[in-house]
Amino acid sequence: MTPTPVRRLPSSQGHDSAPLRSQLVIYSSLSKQKEGFIPLQSDTVTMYTCGLTVNYLMHIGHARCYVFWDIVHRYLQYLGFKVTHVSNVTDISVDDNILRRLRETGESFQQLVTRHTQDYIEDRRRLGIADPYTYSIATQHIHEMIELVQQLLDQGHAYIADDGVYFRISTYPEYGKLSGIDPGKLRTGASGRITKDEYDKESVGDFALWKRAAPGEPYWHSPWGPGRPGWHIECSAMSRKYLGETIDISGGGEDNIFPHHENSIAQSEAASGKSYVRFWMHVRHLMLNGERMSKSTGNFITAREAASKYGAALVRLSLLSTHYRKRMDFTETLIAAAEGRIKQLQYAIAVLRFFKEKKPPTKPKDDLLSMAIGEAEEQFRAAMNDDFNTALAITQLFHFIESLHHHIDKYHELGSNIVEKTLFVLEGICTILFGDLYEKELAPIPDSHTRQLVEFILTEREQLRQNKDFNKADVLRKMLRESGIEVIDTPDGPIWWKTAQPAL
């Protein structure tokens, strides 16, 4: 699948992208403040985001993270940066549940995780998320992980114990700088994140780089015997392979801060002696109906269930309606609000396409709308430049959509130039917010057969309306709606658009 190309600046309106780029500020989870964003290389941004542990299907909380990274990726492209985005797939995590399922199904570990990886990539695409430069699959990079572990051993940052290889955090004085954790105060099990059964390590904060396999567990060969890499080492090894020792942006969910990212920093910086990540970003938790998601209580929804039930564009809009550093609650109220907005937006695009076909000359009131769309684009950029404030960007976008509807209701006319300009700006903004779903789901262009058929039915319907046979006219409209065609009657004639079926 080829993602819809993102409109880049400078746009046809002659913007110079450099001043706009320089206005981008990002909140750094490391410095705990907003910082001006300048990438290491002037035109290229390197970005590594933590992907799914593919033991289970992606849920709506994961989707919040991945949709957000897609926004960051697309907005940086819009600003004119080339973005080299790598996202990993953790297909190496072994737990009791996985081992039990392998025994029950007779599937091999590799078969199971390959199937789950395909599901994960499908679910991302279902939500309009662009594929990264590469999906780095953990089991395909065991060699790079072994190399990094060996380097840390050679440098004295790691040691071999009976049950594996550990990172010695006392050799990295800055340990704790991301999470604020004091390594001297770490207690086994105290945080719930330090594995209790790692008895062979020297210090409680030391963490596994390589784990020897227990009988019956999947394993890979290594200089330290059969086993598997620790979770943290995969991101350090794979980001180094594809993006080098220092990367511009990295992040994950807020629960990745400790221990995952703290340990990733320690490994990478101890090995390279350089800064690992310049901008750490973390997305906060998503609640479902006011509570934490939990499979056992049934308060749980996978991303594919949500996309199928509500439509993927609607899910995306809902997820982006809260700023990524705020906790959000995914509720039916939120869905209902997003549903109304999706319809408003579809109608606006349909109206603009309707006028575009008529190719009208310049109209006296076009200047009013020209100013409004210019301001809307400025406001969108200002919100996004302020630490990717999608919540504000969306609010402002819909203020503009409302003013567009008012303008059309009041003046009933738009000139070709302003129609083209408005569509251009709206499509640019929507491609960032909705990704590939803009053309697939939000504003699909009907094929010529559908167009002819709908135009014919609408002509017949207009005849019925003129003959005051409103009942039959309503029946036709209802039939069209059931076939995925929405119709609104206006003084300029019926305006219609195709609503894509929710992705299944």
Q: In angstroms, what is the minimal distance from the CB of 475 to Zn ion?
A: 56
Residue 61 carries which DSSP code? H
Q: In angstroms, what is the minimal distance from the CB of 91 to Zn ion?
A: 13
Given the complex with Zn ion, which of 130 and 235 has the nearer CB atom? Answer: 235
Given the complex with Zn ion, which of 282 and 421 has the nearer CB atom? Answer: 282
Q: In angstroms, what is the minimal distance from the CB of 235 to Zn ion?
A: 3
Closest CA to 238 of 267, 196, 211: 267
Given the complex with Zn ion, which of 232 and 407 has the nearer CB atom? Answer: 232
Q: Is 63:127 a contact under the CB 8 Å cutoff?
A: yes
Given the complex with Zn ion, which of 235 and 288 has the nearer CB atom? Answer: 235
Given the complex with Zn ion, which of 88 and 346 has the nearer CB atom? Answer: 88
Q: In angstroms, what is the minimal distance from the CB of 408 to Zn ion?
A: 48
The C-alpha atoms of residue 294 and residue 306 are separated, in whole angstroms, by 16
Q: In angstroms, what is the minimal distance from the CB of 2 to Zn ion?
A: 27
- Helix H or strand E segment including 299: none
Q: Which residue type sits at 275? A: S
Given the complex with Zn ion, which of 72 and 235 has the nearer CB atom? Answer: 235
Q: In angstroms, what is the minimal distance from the CB of 262 to Zn ion?
A: 11
The C-alpha atoms of residue 123 and residue 323 are separated, in whole angstroms, by 22
Sign, Cα dihedral of 163, 169, 170, 176: negative
Q: In angstroms, what is the minimal distance from the CB of 106 to Zn ion?
A: 31
Cα dihedral: 261, 262, 268, 271 (round 10): -160
Q: In angstroms, what is the minimal distance from the CB of 69 to Zn ion?
A: 12
Closest CA to 480 of 502, 465, 500, 458: 458
Given the complex with Zn ion, which of 52 and 307 has the nearer CB atom? Answer: 52
Residue 156 has a CB neighbour count (10 Å cut-off) of 10
Residues near Zn ion (CB under 5 A) are: 50, 235
Q: C-alpha angle with apex 299: 192 to 287, nearest 5 degrees?
A: 65
Residue ranges with strand state E in 70-157: 82-89, 134-137
Given the complex with Zn ion, which of 30 and 314 has the nearer CB atom? Answer: 30
Q: Is 457:393 a contact under the CB 8 Å cutoff?
A: no
Structure tokens at 393: 């960007």
